[in-house]
Structure 1
Amino acid sequence: MDVMLTGTLVTVGAAAASVGGFLLISKVVPRRWLVADTDAASTLYATIGMAYAILIAIAAIAIWEPRSAAASSTDLEAGSLVEAYWSADQLAPADRTEVRDLIVAYLGEATGPEWTRLRVRHEPDDGAELLFTELRRRVDAVHPQTDPEQNAYAQLSAQISAAAGARSGRLQAAGEGMPGLLWPVLIAGGLVSVVFLYLFGLERTFPNGLMMAVVGAMIALLLFVLYQVEYPLSRAFAVTPDSLTTALARLRGLP
Structure 2
Amino acid sequence: MNTYLVGTLWLVGVSIAALAVVAVMRRWRRDAGPLVDISVLSAVFSLASMVFAIVAAFVFIDVWSGAEEARDATYAEAEAAQLVAWSASRMPESDRAEVVRLSRDYLREVIDQEWPRLGEVGADQHVRGWQLVQDMHDVAARHSDEVEEAPEMVQSLLQARQERLALAGSRIGDATWFALLVGAGLAGLPVFFFPFDRALPQLALTATVASIITLLLFTIQQIEQPFADGRAPVTAYEETLARITPP
Q: Same fold by TM (over 0.5)?
A: yes
C-alpha spacing 1:117/1:173, structure 2 compared with 1 (3 Å): same
- From 205, 213, 216, the equivalent of 2:210 is 216
Matched residue type, 1:79? E
Displacement of 1:204 after TM fit? 3.7
Counterpart residue number, 2:52: 52
1:79–1:247 Cα contact (<8 Å) kept:
yes
TM-score (norm 1): 0.88
CA RMSD of aligned residues (A): 1.9
C-alpha contact (below 8 Å) 1:49/1:193 kept by paired residues: yes
Query: Equivalent residue for 1:244?
Result: 237
Q: How does 1:175-186 map to 2 (within 5 A)?
A: 175-186=169-180
Match of 1:235, SS state, is helix
What is the distance in 1 between the residues matched to 2:144 and 2:3? 53
Return the offset for 1:33. Answer: 5.1
TM-score when normalising by structure 2: 0.91
* CA deviation profile, 1:94-118 (whole Å, cap 9, x unmatched): 2211111111111111111112231
**Aligned residue pairs: how many?**
245
Residue in structure 1 matching 2:162, options 158, 168, 182: 168
Which residue is 2:200 aligned to?
206
Q: Which runs of 5+ in 2 are unaligned?
A: none
Structure-2 separation of matches of 1:204 and 1:43: 22
Equivalent residues of 1:26, 1:203 under 8 A apart: no
- What is the one-letter code of the residue matched to 2:40? A
Is the alpha carbon distance of 1:68 and 1:91 closer, same or farther for their aligned partners in structure 2, counting shifts above 3 Å?
A: same
Is the CA contact 2:144–2:151 (under 8 Å) kept in the aligned structure 1?
Answer: no
Q: Show the 5 A alignment for 1:64-79.
A: 64-79=64-79
Distance in 2 of aligned mates of 1:4 and 1:166: 32
Give the corresponding residue for 2:183: 189
* Contact residue 45 and residue 190 of structure 2 kept, 8 A: yes
Contact 1:177 1:230 in 2 (8 A): yes
In the alignment, which residue of structure 1 is the partner of 2:222? 228
Change over 3 Å in CA distance of 1:143–1:38 after alignment to 2: closer
AA matched with 1:99: V
Amino acid at match of 2:213: I
Question: 1:177, 1:204 → 2: CA distance?
Answer: 44
Counterpart secondary structure, 2:148: helix
